[in-house]
Structure 1
Amino acid sequence: MPLFEAVLLALGQIRVQKLKSFFTLLGVTIGVMFLVAVVSIVEGMSKYVEEDFIGRFIGVNTFTLRRWPDFSGPETEEEWRDMQRWPLMYKHDARHVVGTLPKDVKWAIETDASATASSAYAPRPRQATIYAVEGDYFQIKNYDVVAGRAIAQQEYRIGANVVVIGDEVATFFFPEIDPIGRELHIRGIPYTVVGRIEKQGSLFGMSMDRLIIGPLESGLGRITNPRGDIDGMMLKAASTNAMFDGMELVRESMRARRHLRPSQRDNFSIETSESALEDFNQVKTIMTIAGTALPMIGLVVGGMVIMNIMLVAVAERTREIGIRKSLGARRKDILRQFLVEAATLSTLGALVGIGLGLAAAWLIEANTPLPAAVAPWSLVVATLLGLGVGIISGVYPARRASRLDPIEALRQE
């Protein structure tokens, strides 16, 4: 029997026995649906972290120098205790590092904290994230100022009380009016708004537009870090090779400044986007394995259901098998017929599961902060799994059907 004819025969059986076919498809459909949905969510989170989350905190060819790492924490309690003894970072440390860098390396000092802001145009005060910065902060963060201007270098030097605000801050504190040139009060001190950056959106439900940026030497620096220390600095090179060269220069400069011997480990943190992603990649691997392993249980159950229903189908169609054999059907024709029928059923179940899985992933993305992205390999794997489950589950019933004696089969009512 040709393969195409066997598939048409299988589809005919599905149309005739709709209820039985539905329950046959159900196990495979559920397993594949969860497989595609989970992998899509994991893949979406991966792209989100790599392209948006990490990309916004640590950009291309950019690395950070901080007291403690932002993304890769200590692996043992001993490392954690050792890290607690690391000295604070101060502005003079950062400026010493700047003096060792090539001219083409951009740098910025950054400190941040939450503070209450208010204006004469807003109904009430509100919390915002305050960034006290210095250097090439706007260029490194790729902030486009859509109204007004960025902070001038002279304003950084003298610590002028000027700020650039995010879209949400502008909308809340200056509703329906232009905020440029108006005053924003932070802990009772007035700051003049000189610029507004473009809308940044959100990360995992956290708004990136509720920010106020001002000079480190202004009053914002005392708000963010009253002790006089800084959170760290960002450095951006022109190329990847220049970035690694810059990292070595910074490391050597900091080790020399802190009088570290060659046998002593660094007591500061230098991170790139690649190092920040190391821990996440491990989590991603575990989530992917778990996300593919658990739906396998559903596929195993679906395979058992297919096998049982195909065995029932063999018993119900014994007379049909006898007629086919008496008309010249060979043993391999009967074997192929039932194998193709089982494979067709499970493949259809896999295709339905893929559709439902994609719908579930997009539904989750639309109603939660979790992103979703379709991984093409998961669709191929899901289809192959559906086909494989059908073939494996249909082998025993198909062999049993092919071995029926035609004379005995024709006697069955």
Structure 2
Amino acid sequence: MTTLDAVRLAFNQLRVQKLKSAFTLLGVMIGVMFLIAVVSIVEGMGRYVEEDFASRLIGTNTFTLRRFDNVGPGGNRGFDVREARRRPLLRMTDVDVVRAALPSSMRSSISSETFKYGAAPGARPRQVQAIATDAEYFAIKKFAVTQGRAFTEQEVRAGSPVLVIGVEVAEHFFPGLNPEGRQIRVSGVPFTVIGVIEKQGSVFGFSLDRMAIAPYTSPMGRIIRPMRDISSLIVQAPSQADLAEGVEAARSALRAFRGLRAGEADNFGLVTQDAAFGFIKQLKGRLVLFGTALPAISLVVGAMVIMNIMLVAVAERTREIGVRKALGAKRSDILSQFLVEAATLSTLGAAIGIALGIGLAKLIAALTPLPAAVAPWSIVAALVTGAGVGIAAGLYPASRAAQLDPIAALRQE
């Protein structure tokens, strides 16, 4: 009997014994469904963090020059606070040196930010995310201005006290009004609103629409950094492949400018997206691991169900096995017949589970804030797992069927 014949026979059994086959499929189907759903949600969250979150908070294909290089829970290992405090402040001269060394295809933007109270006539004071930067910042962060305009390089050079605000800031201080040309005081200093950024939404509960962005040469620079130093320089490469070249050019230029010898460690930080999201990637891996534990239990239960039902099938089809052996079927033919039958049933269950899992992931994404993205590898893994469960569960029943004595089998009623 060929493999195709065995598959055809498996589908005949499925059609003849619908209820039994349904129970055979159920365990694998449920396990695979939840496996696909969990992996899709975790994958969606990962993509959201790495793409949407990165482009909004960090910027795509970027690295950041800072005084310190710790980047949160994933980057604090080995971070020496006392040593870091001895590092020199990041000054405009450092920024100029780095910018001169970068390839011409790369763009860069100074950025200093903190939370300060803003105030306007007729509205209660409220904290805003005060940002002092330059004109390139809007392009790197992909901030589109829907009302008014962004400030220009000429206004940066002049130190103009102009302000581009987020939607939430505009709605709080100027409800129902056009904010253009109106004033907001940040830490008591007046700034004129010239534009409003399109709605950015929130990331993990943190609103991105509370921004108040002004030129770093304006009073905003002194408000945020009283010592007139620079918080960070964001550098954006044309592509991910060009990023390493920019990092190395910035490191070499700044080390030479600060007179660091070959054996000395950097006294500045160069933070890439990979470093910034190291913790998130670790968390994603753990979520996949723990999220697949429950479906794995379901698959084990499904394997036990398949094994029991295949044992029953062997008992019910003893006479059929005897006839086949009497007609010349070898043990390997009987073994492969029942193995292929078990694998076919479990693979069919996995295929149905994949469809249901994708549907469940899409439903969760539609009804909740959780994103979902179906990973192609998870579909392949689910199909392979389904076939593997069937083969593993069908091995013992198939072996028993292959070892039946043909004479005793023919006497079976």
TM-score in terms of structure 2 length = 0.83
Residue 76 in structure 1 maps to residue 78 in structure 2 = yes
Residue 191 in structure 1 maps to residue 158 in structure 2 = no
Q: Report the equivalent of 1:310.
A: 310
Q: Report the equivalent of 2:182.
A: 182
Return the letter of the residue paired with 2:270.
Answer: I
1:94-243 pair list within 5 angstroms: 94-95=95-96, 97-98=98-99, 106-120=107-121, 124-134=124-134, 136-236=136-236
Return the letter of the residue paired with 1:330.
Answer: A
Alignment CA distance shift 1:18-1:255 (3 Å): same
Q: Is the 8 A contact 1:55 1:273 kept in 2?
A: no
Mark the runs of 5 or more structure 2 residues left unpaired by the alignment.
Answer: none
- Which 10-residue stretch deviates more, 100-109 or 308-317? 100-109
Return the letter of the residue paired with 1:117.
Answer: G
Q: Deviations over 1:272-321 (max 9, x none)?
A: 33554556555555555565677444433422331122112222343454
Q: Is the 8 A contact 1:119 1:183 kept in 2?
A: yes
Mark the runs of 5 or more structure 1 residues left unpaired by the alignment.
Answer: none
Q: Report the equivalent of 2:350.
A: 350
Q: Is the 8 A contact 1:121 1:175 kept in 2?
A: no
Return the letter of the residue paired with 1:372.
Answer: A
Q: Secondary structure at the match of 1:129?
A: strand
**Equivalences, count:** 410
Q: Secondary structure at the match of 1:150?
A: coil
1:32-47 pair list within 5 angstroms: 32-47=32-47
Q: Is the 8 A contact 1:204 1:370 kept in 2?
A: no
Q: Deviations over 1:65-120 (max 9, x none)?
A: 1112264624326x454334333324454356456667765332211112333444
Q: Secondary structure at the match of 1:229?
A: coil
Q: Secondary structure at the match of 2:150?
A: coil
Q: Secondary structure at the match of 2:26?
A: helix
Alignment CA distance shift 1:84-1:340 (3 Å): same
RMSD: 3.5
Q: Is the 8 A contact 2:102 2:249 kept in 1?
A: yes
Q: Report the equivalent of 2:260.
A: 260
Q: Is the 8 A contact 1:109 1:135 kept in 2?
A: no
Return the letter of the residue paired with 1:10.
Answer: A
TM-score in terms of structure 1 length = 0.83
Cα distance, 1:383 vs. partner? 0.9
Q: Deviations over 1:188-207 (max 9, x none)?
A: 44321101223334334433
Q: Is the 8 A contact 1:113 1:223 kept in 2?
A: no
Distance 1:358 1:240 in 2: 31
Distance 2:134 2:216 in 1: 6
Q: Report the equivalent of 2:51.
A: 51
Alignment identity in percent?
54
Distance 1:333 1:96 in 2: 76
Distance 2:53 2:108 in 1: 20
